[in-house]
């Protein structure tokens, strides 16, 4: 719920596997109050939820179960509360991952998470591509299931096609429905889904809080979605 100053508050989910400080700083920059929490009730009280993450899928899901957060995340998303998944948190939104075995995810978005090494094992030169996939890479509008207005009305609104974002990952998501894919990036010859938006659920494989002005623009769009008008007007874009 909004704080005493009328600012929406975001719950940043703490399950021991996220760059929580950077996410909280990005929220503050765009005028959002945030609370870093592992308490299920805090997710219900918040106006929006951010699920960050860095690490292994199976361990993350076991930790969410132990904290009672798996069912809460599924329920708040089903209730229409805006949810943003970042990096591992983006992958956790999906049905299943093959990382170190087969693990069920949250199932908020239909699809699976696969190994980049299996998807694009070699470059055109015949040499193995480096995994993890680390560094700045451009994101591009999906060619399927999206209207000609590109990213208008989404959390990527105002971000130019091809804008570089910062990635660190070894696995990638494959949504079951093309219409879920909002943006793609490339790993060798593979164009893979790097951002989705399904209703009020958004996820991105890259780290917007580490991606400069365009990454902060994503947080600004989230703030606008939650009703931060005054803060949004003061942003440098």
First CA to last CA distance, the chain: 27
Per-residue pLDDT tens over the stretch 136-149: 999 999 875 454 56
Residue 167, judged by CB atoms within 10 A of its CB (0-12, 13-18, 19+), counts as: buried
Distance CA 20, CA 228 (A): 21
Backbone angles phi, psi at 130, to 5 degrees: -80, 130
C-alpha closest to that of 211 among 183, 192, 230, 191:
183
Identify the pLDDT of residue 52. 95
Instruction: Evaluate if residue 229 carries a pLDDT over 70.
Output: no
Of 9, 87, 194, 204, catalytic: 87
pLDDT for residue 123: 46
10 Å Cβ neighbour count for 200? 15
Active site residue 207: yes
Query: Per residue in 47-80, is it b (16+ CB within 10 Å) or e — as a string?
Result: bbbbbbbeebbbbbbebbeebebbebbeebbeee
Annotated catalytic residue within 137, 169, 204, 209 = 209
Band of residue 36 on the pLDDT scale cut at 50, 70, 90: very high
pLDDT at 128: 65
* Integer Cα distance of 105 and 92 in angstroms: 5
Percent of the chain with pLDDT over 70: 86
CA 134 to chain centre: 17
| Tens-digit pLDDT profile for residues 69-107 | 999 999 999 999 999 999 999 999 999 998 888 999 999
User: In 3D, which of 12, 17, 21 has the Cα closest to residue 47?
Assistant: 12
How deeply is 144 buried, as exposed, middle or buried, from its count of CB atoms within 10 A (0-12, 13-18, 19+)? exposed
Query: Looking at the predicted structure, is the pLDDT value of residue 121 above 70?
Result: no
């Amino acid at each position: 719920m909004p704080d005493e100053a009328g600012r929406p508050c975001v719950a940043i989910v703490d399950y021991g596997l996220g760059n929580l400080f950077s996410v909280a700083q990005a929220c503050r920059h765009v005028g959002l109050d945030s609370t870093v929490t592992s308490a299920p009730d805090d997710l219900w009280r918040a106006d929006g939820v951010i699920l960050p993450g860095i690490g292994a899928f199976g361990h993350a899901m076991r930790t969410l179960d132990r904290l009672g957060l798996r069912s809460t995340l599924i329920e708040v998303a089903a209730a229409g509360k805006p949810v943003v998944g970042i990096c591992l948190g983006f992958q956790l939104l999906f049905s299943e991952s093959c990382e170190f075995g087969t693990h069920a995810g949250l199932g908020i978005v239909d699809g699976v998470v696969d190994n980049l090494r299996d998807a694009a094992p070699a470059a055109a030169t015949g040499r193995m591509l480096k995994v993890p996939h680390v560094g700045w890479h451009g994101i591009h509008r999906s060619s399927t299931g999206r209207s000609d207005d590109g990213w208008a009305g989404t959390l990527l609104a105002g971000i130019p096609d091809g804008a570089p974002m910062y990635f660190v990952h070894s696995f990638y998501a494959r949504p079951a429905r093309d219409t879920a894919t909002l943006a793609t990036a490339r790993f060798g010859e593979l164009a893979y889904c790097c951002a989705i938006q399904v209703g009020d659920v958004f996820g991105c494989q890259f780290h917007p809080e580490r991606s400069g002005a365009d990454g902060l623009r994503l947080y600004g769009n989230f703030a606008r979605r939650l009703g931060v008008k005054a803060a949004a007007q003061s942003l440098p874009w």
